[in-house]
Amino acid sequence: MSPTPAPSYSRPVVRLRPKAEARAIRHGFPWVYADELVLDRRTSGMAPGTLAVLEDAERRALGLVTVNPASKIVARMLDRDPEAAVDQAWFEARLARALALRARLYPAPFYRLVHAEADGLPGVVIDRFGEVAVVQPNAAWAEAHLAALVAALVAVTGVATVIKNGSGRARGLEGLAEEMAVVHGPAPTEPVVVPMNGASYMADLMGGQKTGLFFDQRENHALAARLARGARVLDVFTHVGGFALAALAGGAAQALAVDASAPALALAEAGAKASGFGDRFQTRQGDAFAVLEALGAEGARFDLVICDPPAFAPAKPALEAGLRAYERIARLAAPLVAPGGYLVLCSCSHAADLSAFRNASARGIGRGGRRGQILWTGFAGPDHPVLPQLAESSYLKALAFRLDG
């Protein structure tokens, strides 16, 4: 009996090493690391973003992947069908599924529309701001297929403007250059007003951090707003008003917002004014650690203190230093909380899991001479779904403590 011939594919084939864990791929893990793939001369010579059929060591097809030999994540799963056509219709199907979820969750079109692997578009982030969408193509394949992605995005959502935000650490890891450009429609000439949790936020979509606003904290903002009724609030690393504006919408007596960026604080002030909170809102520009130390020396006290820093541990090599930074933040912030008040600490570090972050925060609070109880453990909102097989898709942690006297 003659052996069954190997299937013939219209695309190149890449193959897992014999000891690579094909079962994890079959069960939904979306990445193949460089040490798991046979990187012969042909595979190593593939252009970043090449579409290929992934086979296991026994030459059984696992699906369609995108290959980037320059990346540690050498292959990303795109489709279980190895012959899938990655065209505008393919993008439209995935975007329509993502849109259906967000439209069910939110009454207004302000949300994360696509959360990368969790929405079936590896390395792609899309945030929607009403009639404007900001796309972050953080993987080589998305850069190569950007025209089809943008056309599908316009067709599915009807947005008038699409901005490409090609900045950030992830693109560097893929070997991609930084670029900011309007790729569809007219460029926004002023910040976009984003209604969220009863406040009006100002998002600078062309010059702000990330895509202009952090939608992921929406649920945690709402919790802080409930704690803020009648409170004096300190919001450190506020960006464009973050927790402070939500707290004021929730009835805070006053809020002090701290950030190193003068442009971000100007947007926060504009948001407070637009929300009708201008008379209860103040800002202080400076390094967060230095401001916390200065407030402590001044004897300042607040009923609610929130610290939402950038990622101190974006990758494993930075984990120990990052955890020390989170501990220091907690140590400096805890003494500023009035007896019986609340402290909210956040981390968006992929490398620091919840247990490590919680332990670092508790150590810092203890070193700050305080004790307390955890009232709330928060994560990113439901417009940031998590792929169960990929821990990295769950990155945001928020802890709310009530501190003793």
What single-letter amino acid sits at 8? S
Supply φ then ψ for residue 178, to 5 degrees: -80, 140
Which helix (H) or strand (E) segment is 52 a member of? strand 50-55
Distance CA 53, CA 101 (A): 30
Distance CA 117, CA 242 (A): 26
Q: Is 307 a catalytic residue?
A: no
Q: Give the list of residues 6+ apart from residue 368 with CB closer than 8 angstroms, or none.
A: 330, 331, 332, 333, 334, 335
| Among candidate residues 303, 299, 255, the one with its CA nearest the CA of residue 279 | 255
What single-letter amino acid sits at 109? P
Give 3-state DSSP helix, strand, coil % of the chain, rounded to 5.
Answer: 35, 30, 35
Three-state secondary structure call for residue 291? helix
Cα-to-chain-centroid distance, residue 219? 14
What single-letter amino acid sits at 205? L
State the DSSP string of 300-351.
--EEEEEE----S-SSGGGHHHHHHHHHHHHHHHGGGEEEEEEEEEEE--SS
| Among candidate residues 156, 147, 246, the one with its CA nearest the CA of residue 195 | 246
What single-letter amino acid sits at 302? F
**CB neighbourhood size of 169 (10 A):** 10
| Selected catalytic residue, list 65, 348, 352, 387 | 348
CA dihedral defined by 166, 168, 172, 174, rounded to 10 degrees?
-70
Residue 267 near residue 240, CB atoms below 8 Å = yes
Q: Give how far Cα 259 sits from Cα of 190, 265, 292, Å.
A: 21, 7, 11
| Among candidate residues 220, 227, 270, the one with its CA nearest the CA of residue 248 | 227
Active site amino acids = 348
